[in-house]
Structure 1
């Protein structure tokens, strides 16, 4: 006997398959904004459709490890991010059990270093009561920089992370919207920044 959620999932898969098979092939060259979640990513982006006008992409409801795997794979998603996307919105779905968020920092570093045309980045978790710890400052500055990023919206755990975001790695940053979970002074020397 099938449960209600199985039937709903099956209906969703059928609808998604019909959209990807019958609609997207006809309109893919006109699409300039997309919002995808992990379940629909394979159908929408990895099905062979090319989106020449796509400039804005939202990746929502991803767990950090799964998103990292997609970003490091050789796929249309990676090509879009490195060659086309100027506006990127990433919404991470945190686990119930807090993790060390090492992969999350790797995701941010990868996005900043790989997205050559990125102008605007919105990088948040889905549950506002769980502030993620983004520690890009542990990465060498040459590994995590962007010459094109002008707007960044991000949540960080400490004020130190905020300071390191402003250490010169983001050369053209003109707008920074940041939510700092814990503002306490731990850096001993900010002159080197």
Structure 2
């Protein structure tokens, strides 16, 4: 009996789609986009393009960028082709600017930034030339995870970043300022009420230092507030 050889391209679209779903999205896009028209049609499905995590991680506290080779292909060849389909991006700070400059993302409404230094996060939301200003009216859901590189200034920086994010994203509905349980990311407003207000926020996840900080955030400044997680 002779052995038969079945190539991937010999399989029906439905089977190929199932196989691709079992693989890492980035690997699928990197390996199969622009291979041929058939694979292009399959990998342009929202399953592979609507939400992307453009970094690697071994654990929640160890995140690192994509390799230069992979990032270059994504920025030059892949992201410009699928940018209109992307609704959700999770990014790390080293490659974030390059990713945003590689294409326009007209349907992006959900964004996560992970493992960014606290001072760099503050600069990102105070610098009027930063890429965040392009998205200030579009982002409805935002998550940020910062790391501390300075001693003694963590709470003040966290509070400033928290405040400036509300000033930046005017239509925010979901805000997670503490995405990881082990993340030491806390805010405190001292004896003065915060200057943040929102008529759109529905859900907030944040750690506060004192009960007074919690009361400030629950005093009606978030008009449509539906759910909170204040620790």
TM over 0.5: same fold?
yes
Counterpart for residue 22 of structure 1: 77
Counterpart for residue 147 of structure 2: 93
Q: CA RMSD in A?
A: 2.4
Q: Offset of 1:138 from its aligned partner? A: 5.5
Q: Offset of 1:11 from its aligned partner? A: 7.5
Q: Which has the larger radius of gyration?
A: 2
Q: Which residue among 111, 114, 117 is the counterpart of 2:171?
A: 117
Distance of aligned partners of 1:109 and 1:137 in 2 relative to their CA distance in 1, 3 Å threshold? farther
CA contact (8 A) 1:37 1:62 kept: yes
Q: Offset of 1:173 from its aligned partner? A: 0.9
CA contact (8 A) 2:118 2:149 kept: no
Are positions 1:55 and 2:109 aligned together?
Answer: yes
Distance of aligned partners of 1:167 and 1:21 in 2 relative to their CA distance in 1, 3 Å threshold? same
CA contact (8 A) 2:167 2:196 kept: yes
Cα distance in 1 for partners of 2:81, 2:95 equals: 18
Q: TM-score, normalised on structure 1?
A: 0.77
Distance of aligned partners of 1:29 and 1:148 in 2 relative to their CA distance in 1, 3 Å threshold? same
Counterpart for residue 132 of structure 1: 185
Counterpart for residue 163 of structure 1: 215
Cα distance in 2 for partners of 1:85, 1:10 equals: 23
Higher RCO (CA-CA < 8 Å; seq separation 6+): 1
CA contact (8 A) 2:144 2:176 kept: yes
CA contact (8 A) 1:134 1:156 kept: yes
Q: Offset of 1:99 from its aligned partner? A: 2.5
Are positions 1:175 and 2:175 aligned together?
Answer: no
Q: Which residue among 132, 136, 153 is the counterpart of 1:77?
A: 132
Cα distance in 1 for partners of 2:227, 2:113 equals: 21
CA contact (8 A) 1:86 1:118 kept: yes
Cα distance in 2 for partners of 1:102, 1:22 equals: 41
